Amino acid sequence: MQKIIFGLFAFMIVCFCISNFFCIGLTDENEEIRTIKLLITSTNEIIEMSLDDYIIGVLIGEVPSTYEDEALKAQAIVARTYTLYKLQNSPDSHENADMCDDINHCQAYKTKDYAMQCWDDDVEKIKWSKLENAVKSTSGKVITYKDNLINAFFHAHSGGMTEDVKYIWGNEEIPYLKSVKSEEGYLYEDKVVISKKDFFDVVKNKYNDFDNTATNYSIDRLTPSGRVDKMTIGNKVLAGTEIRTLYGLRSTYFSVKEEDENIIFTTNGYGHGVGMSQEGANYMAINGSSCEEIIKHYYTDVDIVSI
């Protein structure tokens, strides 16, 4: 009997040791990815912080704190996923850092001090606690497609439909980045007015073989979401994304008309249009959607899991 008790006791000790060993291993791994080395591009300084503290700074830089709680939570999960995807897929994009604060390279990031300077004294504590709550209450949550982190693109305002990624970046099909309807709550229109001469000069300056006598232009093809896919200017057929860059347009969701001696681009929405629309997410939250519903609306067939 004593032998049996001793055997059971020994077995329990072994079990305890094994489970503890795995627990420690898992915790260590998580600790590792929960620390971010961030390059501040203006000073070339690298600062280290927890992943969640970094995500709060991303939220300060990327979304208004006046957004609904569920929209802020969705943005926190999206920003966390975007960060970890980048670390997993391009770990060497900075020499000694994981991420930088350049919006065109990684994501925007602003410090708490910056936020406090921008906000009124009487509301800053409320705004800060909203952002902190959005990040802490979703801590560890990420978006996956078939058990892999997704490349969680987002943009400011879709103009009514998000864009399929294949029309924006090199024809690549990504099953979770499809075009979906997106109610935005308000119209976001912008105009770019340019003289006819400058309109043609922009293309002439870029292409040596541009036909200098050209006076023709036309929008040739729209993508299924309604954005410009191809536009002809003179003897050049250009992608909508290139037109957007050349003329500094808010989006590829545009129309063109002539008035007097000017060409007028009227754009709808703001940003590339791929993935989650931030304004659309906020509008869904106003109408009662949860952060999970928002994410599953904008990213097709994804799961939200805890790491």
- Interface with Zn ion (CB under 5 A): 100, 105-106
Which structure tokens are listed for 255? Answer: 């129309």
Cβ 152 to Zn ion shortest distance, Å: 16
Whole-angstrom distance, CA of residue 203 vs CA of residue 212: 10
Comparing C-alpha atoms, which of 93, 87, 133, 109 is closest to residue 42? 109
Nearer to Zn ion, 100 or 256 (CB): 100
Comparing C-alpha atoms, which of 250, 244, 194, 192 is closest to residue 219? 244
Cβ 58 to Zn ion shortest distance, Å: 12
Nearer to Zn ion, 93 or 133 (CB): 93
Cβ 97 to Zn ion shortest distance, Å: 8
304: helix, strand or coil: strand
DSSP of 141-172: EEEEETTEE----EESB-TTB-B-GGGTTTT-
Whole-angstrom distance, CA of residue 176 vs CA of residue 136: 26
Cβ 98 to Zn ion shortest distance, Å: 9
Give whole-number Cα distances, 50 to 34, 135, 167, in Å: 5, 12, 36
Nearer to Zn ion, 39 or 249 (CB): 39
Nearer to Zn ion, 85 or 200 (CB): 85
Whole-angstrom distance, CA of residue 280 vs CA of residue 267: 17
Cβ 209 to Zn ion shortest distance, Å: 35
H helix or E strand, kind and range, residue 279: helix 278-286
DSSP lists the bridge partners of residue 238 as 231
Cβ 244 to Zn ion shortest distance, Å: 22
